[in-house]
Amino acid sequence: MDQARGMPKRIKEGRVSWKLDFKRNWLVYVIFLPVFVYFFVLNYLPMFGLSMAFQNFSITKGFFNSDWIGFQNFKDLFMGDAFPNALKNTFIMAGFNLVLGFPAPIIFALLITSVKFEAFRRSSQIISYLPNFVAAVVMVNIMKQFLSPTGAITEFLALFGLQEQNWLVNPNPPVFWLINTLSGVWQGFGYGSIIYVAAITNINGEYYEAAAIDGANGWQKMWKITLPCIKPIIIMLFVLQFGILLRVGFDRILLMYVPRTYEVADNLFTYTYRMAFGAAPNFGLGAASGLFQSVVSTILLITSNQVSKRLSNNSLF
């Protein structure tokens, strides 16, 4: 009691002053300093470049001397003839990525954790991670080989009566959209399953033992135990995925670009790339497009988080 009386009021109430906290945990602050510098220099400091979106930016004049033109860059971006088609393709491919790409790591994690043979499970996980480290250039070249008129995938599809052709230059929807989505799924599902596998392996085994005693089969265990236990992780990653919905694989699409598929392949990233870095580079237009996409992504992130909070009482923030 006497000790409590002698303590400062802020400490008794559970609030420690910054100076006292720094004195106690100075080593933690020192360890965090490189992380702070990294994010500040590479993520926050470049945000000053958003001013280019409102300038007729010139490299020779710099940020402070370039002419301010207000929202003219946004007008040029939105009034371009190809903008409506690029926006349409972006949202269509984003929908494909969400519907086909998001469940893939979850399904793989459920399958791999149900395998009892440990050596097979570990080797399968390692093999599934490898495509994530393949460069986009290499992956697109592999796709060109497999999807050529004599490629392995083309020959396989021919067994089902589909025409032998170069599928990468097929302009008919949804061929290109499916190729882009499935190639992204192949490259990322293994690496994306890591967090789900970790969550599943940390589920208390007593739940499964009790379910087995009650006569539950594997399917019932998955629906009644596994999925509910990893539901917060699924919701958190879904909210994050929804926030980056507009990222539809710029590097892959640019490498797969051919004139015949422009109509179905053009998206906000490639459209901005052509307009900003064409014959007459327009850095202000590129900055305007990046700012527009960031604002839309932020709105999507906040909206999906609020919907998740209301429907399931789980949210990212």
Tens digits of per-residue pLDDT, 264-300?
Answer: 988 888 888 877 777 777 888 888 888 888 888 888 8
Tens digits of per-residue pLDDT, 171-220?
Answer: 888 999 999 999 989 988 999 999 999 999 999 888 888 988 888 888 88
d(CA 265, CA 254): 9
User: Which amino acid is present at 263?
Assistant: E
Find the helix packing angle between 83-96 and 175-192, rounded to 10°: 50
Inter-residue contact 213 to 279 (CB < 8 Å): no
pLDDT at 199: 92
| Greatest pairwise CA separation for the chain in angstroms | 88
Burial of 137 (0-12, 13-18, 19+ CB in 10 A): exposed
pLDDT at 15: 58
User: How far, in Å, are 75, 76, 123, 268, 289 from residue 275 at the CA level?
Assistant: 13, 10, 46, 10, 10
pLDDT at 317: 74
End-to-end CA distance of the chain: give it in Å, rounded.
39
d(CA 73, CA 79): 10
Strand partners, 68: 55
Our CA angle for 156, 161, 164, nearest 5°, is 60
pLDDT at 43: 84
Provide the residue-wise pLDDT of the chain in tens; the chain has 317 residues.
Answer: 444 454 454 444 445 677 888 888 889 999 999 999 999 998 888 888 888 889 888 888 888 888 888 899 898 888 878 888 988 999 999 999 889 989 999 999 999 988 888 888 889 888 998 888 888 889 899 999 999 999 999 999 999 888 889 998 888 889 999 999 999 899 889 999 999 999 999 998 888 889 888 888 888 889 999 999 998 888 888 888 887 887 777 788 888 888 888 889 888 888 888 777 777 778 888 888 888 888 888 888 888 888 878 877 777 77
pLDDT at 197: 92
Radius of gyration in angstroms for the set of CA atoms belonging to the chain, rounded to a whole number: 26
pLDDT at 108: 93
d(CA 73, CA 82): 15
pLDDT at 16: 61
